[in-house]
A = this chain, B = another copy of it.
Amino acid sequence: MNQEHNQHLEKLVEMVKDVRTCMLITNEKDAENLSGRPMGINKIDEDGTMWFFTKASSYKVEEIEISKKVSIAIVNESSQNYLMIHGTATLVDDKSKMKELWSSIMKAWFPLGLDDPDMILIKVVPNEVNYWDSSSSKMVVLFNILKAIVTGKEYAEGEHGKINL
C-alpha cells in the first residue's frame, strides 16, 4: 500500500465514520428495480471495510447470497458529505466478531442481544468510492454558495474525487 492509497482510505474513513444511516443497495442487475433500504453503518475499519448488523432471515441476505455486488449511498446534510460507494458484500456469521462490534443501542433491533440466532453481519469491502465533499468546513461551503450568488461566479462544487481502492 502506498502513501496516496493510505490517504484515500483515511479520507474515506473520516467521511463515513460519523454517518448514522446510509442506503444499502443490492440486487443491482437481477431485478426490474434496484433494492435499497436504510441501514446503520456499525463500523468502518481503517482499511475501508464497512460492517452492518442484520437479521439472517431478511430479504437482503437472500439478495446478497445471489449477488455480492452492492452500493452504499450516503447523503449526510449535517456534514455535507455525499458518497457513492461500490463494493463486495460478504455474509459473516461469526459470534466473536459480533461481540466485538456490538453496542447496547443494537438492542432496539435485536432485543435478545448477541444470543439472537437470527443475527448476521454484512461486511462490505469497497472497490470504488465517489464523493462530493464541498469543503472540510461547513462554514466554507455556505460562504462559497453565497459568494457565488453575490458575484455571479460559478459555485466551485468543492472536490469531486473518485477514490480508487
The minimal Cβ–Cβ distance linking A39 to chain B, given in whole angstroms, is 10
Instruction: Knowing A33-B71, A73-B73, A108-B145, say if A23 contacts B84 (CB, 8 Å).
Output: yes
Interface residue A14 (Cβ < 8 Å from any Cβ of B)? no
Chain B residues within 8 Å of A35, by CB? 84
A155 contacts B108, CB within 8 Å?
Answer: yes
Cα A130 to Cα B154 with chains together (Å) = 36
Cα A82 to Cα B10 with chains together (Å) = 28
Within 8 A of B (CB), among A4-39: 20-23, 25, 28-29, 33-38
Contact-size category for A: 35 or more
Cα A151 to Cα B130 with chains together (Å) = 41
When C-beta atoms are compared, the residue in chain B nearest to A71 turns out to be B34
Instruction: Knowing A33-B86, A34-B84, A36-B73, say if A111 contacts B23 (CB, 8 Å).
Output: no
Interface residue A2 (Cβ < 8 Å from any Cβ of B)? no
Within 8 A of B (CB), among A126-146: 128, 130, 132, 145
Cα A154 to Cα B76 with chains together (Å) = 27
Cα A75 to Cα B148 with chains together (Å) = 27
A residues whose Cβ falls under 8 Å from a Cβ of B: 20-23, 25, 28-29, 33-38, 71, 73-78, 82, 84, 86, 104-105, 107-109, 111, 128, 130, 132, 145, 148-149, 152-155
